[in-house]
Chain A
Amino acid sequence: MALLQIAEPGMSSAPHQHRLAVGIDLGTTNSLVATVRSGLAVVLDDEAGRSLLPSVVRYHPGSQVDVGYPAQSMQNQDPHNTIVSVKRFMGRGIADIEDVASLPYRFVDAPGMVQLRTSAGVKSPVEVSAEIIKALRQRAEAAMGGELVGAVITVPAYFDDAQRQATKDAAQLAGLNVLRLLNEPTAAAIAYGLDNAAEGVYAVYDLGGGTFDISILRLSRGVFEVLATNGDSALGGDDFDQRIFCWMLEQGRFEPLSACDMRLLLTKARDAKEALTEHTEVRVTAVLSTGEMMDATLTQTAFNAMTASLIGKTMAPTRKALRDAGLSVDEVKGVVMVGGSTRMPCIRQAVADFFKQTPLTNLDPDKVVTLGAAMQADVLAGNRAGDDWLLLDVIPLSLGLETMGGLTEKVIPRNTTIPTARAQDFTTFRDGQTAMSVHVLQGERELASDCRSLARFELRGIPPMVAGAARIRVTFQVDADGLLSVSAREQSSGVEASVQVKPSYGLGDEDITRMLKDAFTHARDDMYARALNEQIVDAQGLIAATRAALAEDGTLLDAAETAVIEASIAGLEKLIAGTDHHAIKRGVEALNAATTEFAQRRMDQNVRRAMAGQKLETFG
Chain B
Amino acid sequence: MAVTLSERAASHITNFLAKRGKGVGIRLGVRTSGCSGMAYKLEYADEVPEGDEMFTSHGVTVFVDPQSLSYLDGTELDYAREGLNEGFKFNNPNVKDACGCGESFNV
Contact = CB atoms under 8 A, between A and B. Distances in A.
Interface in B24-44: 26-27, 31, 33-35, 39-44
B88 A1 contact: no
Given A1-B102, A143-B84, A38 B16 contact: yes
A280 interface: no
Contacts of B31: 12
A142 B101 contact: no
Contacts of A45: 84
B103 A40 contact: no
Contact of B44 (A9, A16, A44): A9
Interface of chain A: mostly helix, strand, loop or mixed = loop
B43 A10 contact: yes
B98 A1 contact: yes
Interface residues of A, number: 28
Interface in A23-82: 37-40, 44-47
A39 B101 contact: no
B101 A1 contact: yes
Contact of B84 (A8, A16, A39, A44): A44
A2 B16 contact: no
A5 interface: yes
A5 B41 CA distance: 10
A246 to B, nearest CB: 42
A438 interface: no
A12 B84 contact: no
Contact of A145 (B20, B35, B85): B85
Given A16-B34, A40-B20, A6 B13 contact: yes
B45 interface: yes
B107 interface: no
Contacts of A11: 43
Given A3-B86, A37-B87, A15 B104 contact: yes
Contacts of B42: 4-7, 12
Nearest to A145: B85
A10 B80 CA distance: 24
Contacts, number: 96
Given A6-B13, A39-B20, A14 B43 contact: no
Given A3-B88, A5-B88, A143-B84, A15 B35 contact: yes
A103 B82 CA distance: 43
Contacts of B46: 9
Contact of A3 (B35, B39, B80): B80
A176 interface: no
A3 B85 contact: yes
A3 B44 CA distance: 16
B71 interface: no
Nearest to B40: A4
Nearest to B49: A9
Nearest to A41: B19
A106 interface: no
Interface in A304-318: none
B65 to A, nearest CB: 13
A591 interface: no
B45 A9 contact: yes
B66 to A, nearest CB: 18
B43 A8 contact: yes
Contacts of A5: 42, 87-88
| Residue among B19, B86, B89, B104 facing the most chain A CB atoms (10 A cut-off) | B86
B55 interface: no
A46 B41 CA distance: 29
A157 interface: no
A144 B85 contact: yes
B98 to A, nearest CB: 6
B84 A1 contact: no
Contacts of A145: 82, 85, 87
A139 B86 CA distance: 13
A3 B84 contact: no
Contacts of B99: 15
A12 B103 CA distance: 12
A299 to B, nearest CB: 38
Contacts of B13: 6
Nearest to B26: A6
A14 B33 contact: yes
A14 B34 contact: yes
Contacts of B89: 1, 3-4
Nearest to B102: A1
Contacts of B84: 44-47, 139, 142-143
A143 B27 CA distance: 25
9 contacts: A2-B103, A3-B86, A8-B44, A16-B101, A38-B88, A39-B20, A44-B84, A45-B84, A145-B87
Interface of B: 12-13, 16, 19-20, 26-27, 31, 33-35, 39-46, 80, 82-90, 98-99, 101-104
Interface of A: 1-12, 14-16, 37-40, 44-47, 139, 142-145
The 6 nearest A-B residue pairs measured at CB = A1-B102, A3-B87, A15-B34, A15-B103, A143-B84, A12-B41
Given A1-B101, A5-B88, 14 more contacts: A3-B86, A3-B87, A6-B26, A6-B43, A7-B42, A8-B43, A9-B46, A11-B43, A16-B103, A37-B86, A46-B84, A142-B84, A142-B85, A143-B86
